[in-house]
Structure 1
Amino acid sequence: MKVAIMQPYLFPYIGYFQLLNRVDKFVLYDDANYINRGWINRNRILLNGKAKMITLPLNGASQNKLINEISIHNGKREKKKFLKTIRHAYTNSPYYNQVFPLIEEIMSNDEENIAKFIEYSLKRIGDYLDYNTDFIISSELGKNNSLKGEDKILDICQLLKADIYINPIGGRDLYSKDRFIGEGIELYFIQTNKIRYSQNNENFIPNLSIIDTLMFNSKNKVKDFLEGYKLV
C-alpha cells in the first residue's frame, strides 16, 4: 500500500499530481495549520507572457487556524473573478476549449470551505486525467493528534497499513529512512524531472499551476508528464 500526505493546494503544479498519481491512498492534510503566503489559496499562471499570482481571498486566514477552519471570502464573486482571469490568460491556448469547461465547472462549485473546495478540484482534475487514487481526509482519521512531524506521518501510515510512504523531495531532511524501515515502511522521495512545453511564449516559465500545463498540452501528453519523475 503506497501512501502520500499533502496539504491541500489550489491548482498545484505538475509535481503534486505526479505524487497523487503514484500512490494508492492520498491523504489530504486538511487539519494542518494554515500557512501564510503558501500555496493553499493561490498559485501562478501565465498572463501576458509573465508569471502572475492568482488568489482566492480567505476569511480570517491565520496560522493559528487549521486549513479546514477557513472559508473563501465572498466565494461566488471571487470564483467568478478567478475564472475571468483564467479566461483572459488562456483563451488563445491550444487546449482551451477542452480545459476551460473543466475549470469553469470546478469554479462553479458552491463549496466555500477552502479544504473541501480543493478536495473537489483535485478529484475533478483526476477524473480528467484518469487517475484512480483514493482520497483520505486527514481530519476524518482516528489518529493521535498530539503527535508532531515524523511521528504523526508514521501514525497515519500505520493506520492506513502502508508499506511504502512517498514524500516530495523537499522533505528529504525531515524524515529518516532508517526510522521508517524500523516501522516496516519503505520511504521514498519523488523528484520531478525537468518538464518543458510550448507556452506560446519566447521563454518557458516552469512550475506554474496545473492549469497552465493542461491548457498547453493534450490530455495524453499531461499523462506522460505524470510519469516524468524519479524516486530516490
Structure 2
Amino acid sequence: MKLAILQPVLIPDLHDLSTMMTANHIVYQDTEQWSRKGRTHRALIRTPEGTDYISIPVMTADKKKSINKVRIDHARDWISPMLRSLKFNYSNSVYYDFYEPEVRADIEMGHNFEYLLDFSLFLRKRLFQFLELEISAKIDFSSGMEGYTSDPDEFAKQLGAEIYYQEHDARHYQRQGKNQSELKFTHPEYRQHFEGFEPWCCLYDLLFQYGPESFRIFEELD
C-alpha cells in the first residue's frame, strides 16, 4: 500500500496532484500545528516577474493552533486583493474569461467560511470539478483517526504502508520521516501566459491556461 502523508494546502500544485494520484491512501495532517511557512493559507501563481503568492490571512490568536482550528481573519479584506491579483496576472490567459465568473464566485464564498480548512477543501472540490479530476485513493484526516502519531515512520507502520510519501519541500513545517520515499516526479513544462516557464504554480495556473485541455498535462505526470 502506498500512503501519502500531506498537510492540507490552499490550492494544490502538480506535485501534490501526482502524489494524490500515486497513493492508495491519503491522510491529511489537520491536527498538526499551523505554520506560516506552509501552504495551508497560500498558493503560488505566475507573474510577469516570475511567481508570487495569493494568500488568506488567519486570526492572530490561532497561529499556534492546529490546522483544523485556524480561522480566517475576516476583519481584513483579502478577497478583493486575491481577485485583483488573479485578474492582473491571468486576464490574458486562454481560458481566464471562461472560468473567471465561477472562480470569482468561489473565492467570494470565503465570506461564509469561519475556518480556513473548510474553505480550502471547498476550493479544491470546485477546482477538481473544473478540471474533471477524480482521486481514487481513500482519504482520511488525522483528526478522525484513532492512534494517529505525527511520527511519519511510526504512522506508516501502523497503517501497514510499504511506501509512504510526504509533501515536497516541506522540511520547515512538516516532520520528516527517515523512511519516506521520494516520489518519481518530473515537473512537466507547459505553455504559460508569460515568457519562460515557472514550475510549482498552483492548479489555477493550469486551469486558466489550458482549461478542459489540462488532461494533456496530467497525462505527463509520472
TM-score bin, normalised by smaller chain: 0.7 to 0.9
- What value does the CA root-mean-square deviation take over the aligned residues? 2.9
- Superposed, which structure 2 residues align to 1:71-220 within 5 Å? 71-74=71-74, 77-109=77-109, 110-129=112-131, 130-133=133-136, 134-145=138-149, 148-155=151-158, 157-158=159-160, 165-168=164-167, 174-176=177-179, 188-220=181-213
Choose between structure 1 and 2: higher strand proportion.
1
Contact 2:153 2:177 in 1 (8 A): yes
SS of residue matched to 1:107: helix
Q: Are 1:69 and 2:72 counterparts?
A: no
Structure-2 residue corresponding to 1:180: none
Alignment partners' CA distance in 1, 2:57 and 2:145: 28
Q: How far apart are 1:15 and its partner, in Å?
A: 0.9
TM score, norm. by length of structure 2: 0.80
Which secondary structure state, in structure 1, belongs to the residue aligned with residue 97 of structure 2? helix
Partner Cα distance (1:190, 1:228) in 2: 14
Q: Deviations over 1:57-106 (max 9, x none)?
A: 11026663211111111179422431232122211110113332342243
Kindly provide the amino acid, as one letter, of the partner of residue 118 in structure 2. K
- More deviation in 4-13 or 22-31? 22-31
Asked whether the equivalents of residues 62 and 71 of structure 2 are also in contact (C-alpha less than 8 Å), the reply is no
Contact kept, 8 Å, 1:27 with 1:137, in 2: the verdict is: yes
| Most deviating of 20-29 and 4-13 | 20-29
What letter is aligned with 2:108? S
Q: Does 1:224 align with 2:219?
A: no
Shift of 1:25: 3.5
In the alignment, structure 1 segments of 5+ residues that lack a partner are: 178-187
Where structure 2 has 5 or more consecutive residues not aligned to the other structure, the ranges are none
CA distance in 1, matches of 2:29, 2:170: 15
Give secondary structure in 1 for the equivalent of 2:184. Answer: strand
**Conserved? CA contact 2:79–2:108, under 8 Å:** yes
d(CA) in 2 for partners of 1:168 and 1:68? Answer: 18
Q: Which amino acid aligns with 1:137?
A: F
2:205 partner SS: helix
On the 8 A contact 2:2/2:162 being kept in 1, the answer is: yes
Q: Which stretch of the first structure deviates more once superposed, 191-200 or 51-60?
A: 191-200
Q: Secondary structure at the match of 1:4?
A: strand
Per the TM alignment, residue 163 of structure 1 is displaced from its structure 2 partner at its CA by 6.0
Q: How many residues align?
A: 214
1:31 CA drift (Å): 0.9
Q: 1:127 to 1:209 in 2, by over 3 A?
A: same
Residues 1:127 and 1:75: Cα distance change in structure 2 (over 3 Å)? farther
> Normalising to structure 1: TM-score of the pair?
0.77
Contact 2:92 2:193 in 1 (8 A): no
Tell me: CA distance 1:75–1:65, structure 2 relative to 1, closer, same or farther (3 Å). same
User: Deviation at 1:52?
Assistant: 1.9
